[in-house]
Amino acid sequence: MGIRKMRPMTPGTRHMTMLDYSEITKKTPEKKLTKILKANGGRNHRGLITTRHHGGGAKRRYRLIDFKRNDKDGITAKVAAIEYDPNRSANIALLHYADGEKRYILAPFGLEVGKHVVNGPAAEPEIGNCIPLENIPLGLTVHNVELTPGQGGKLARSAGMQITLQARDGDHAIIQMPSGEMRRVDKRCRATIGTVGNLDYAMVSIGKAGRKRHMGWRPTVRGSTMNPVDHPLGGGEGRHAGGHRFASPSGVYARGGKTRDPKSRTNNMIITRRKK
């Protein structure tokens, strides 16, 4: 999928780029595979803002994606269409299984309409097939990797992401994350062969603030312009850093502050931390 540059007719379109959507083969989604996505503006059930800068945006329906693919082992599926998904950076592929059922999966790079994919340990290590890590040859790139067997894919699900299967050690497989982190995962966990498609997504230039509002993002205000009650960097006369280390509104240090839970049960699975 290529990048299309807009004609500089207005200041907003002067630096704007967008995808050409050449891979998309179907414009309307399968109605039975969608559900209503209710906007909450970043607020919880009490009406309090728990996620800042959320609100507005165009209406969209949520596409039900099959991240598990563990109940269709051995059943061949034909790729019927490649579709756009407004809820994620990756495109999605519509599969027609031989038993008549239809499902969505993340569309890997190189998967085309008319090709066939299979799930299960007996499947060949080809693009789009979902296989346990213990049955995947070492050195292959995968995506949609599970952290717990049967839980469904959690890792490498956005556009252009890939994980490399490095080795196997006993009951675990060693994988290299996109960040460079090396970690162990149960070798019974499943992964999909290939790289997540829509590789040019990261090259898109938004171009104007209004386009960000269409995506459901509200304006972001610098902490140094706020009052001391609202942000650690707020207050003072004139422009300055606020007499405090750079931090988030909750006080977590932005440069070097640790956010990972020290009591997390998966910390012992990390072999090498991500590259700085």
Q: How far apart are CA 230 and CA 17, in angstroms?
A: 36
- Check if the beta carbon of residue 92 is closer than 8 Å to that of residue 141: no
Q: How far apart are CA 30 and CA 105, in angstroms?
A: 13
β pairing state of 145-146 and 153-155: antiparallel
At residue 74, the pLDDT reads 92
- Check if the beta carbon of residue 49 is closer than 8 Å to that of residue 31: no
- Check if the beta carbon of residue 191 is closer than 8 Å to that of residue 133: yes
At residue 267, the pLDDT reads 78
- Best CATH choice for the domain 3-202 from the list 1.20.1740.10, 3.20.20.450, 2.40.50.140, 1.10.645.10: 2.40.50.140
Q: Which amino acid, one-letter code, is at 24?
A: I
Per-domain boundaries in the chain: 3-202
With a CB cutoff of 8 Å and minimum separation 6, the contacts of 205 are 15, 16, 17
At residue 261, the pLDDT reads 79
At residue 245, the pLDDT reads 82
Q: How far apart are CA 173 and CA 171, in angstroms?
A: 7
Helices first, then strands: H and E counts in the chain: 1, 17
At residue 241, the pLDDT reads 66
At residue 276, the pLDDT reads 65
Q: Running along the chain, 276 residues long, what does each successive block of 10 average in pLDDT?
A: 90 93 94 94 94 94 96 94 96 96 96 95 95 95 95 95 95 94 95 95 94 94 89 84 79 78 79 79
What is the number of alpha carbons within 13 Å of residue 210 lying toward its C-beta? 5
At residue 2, the pLDDT reads 87
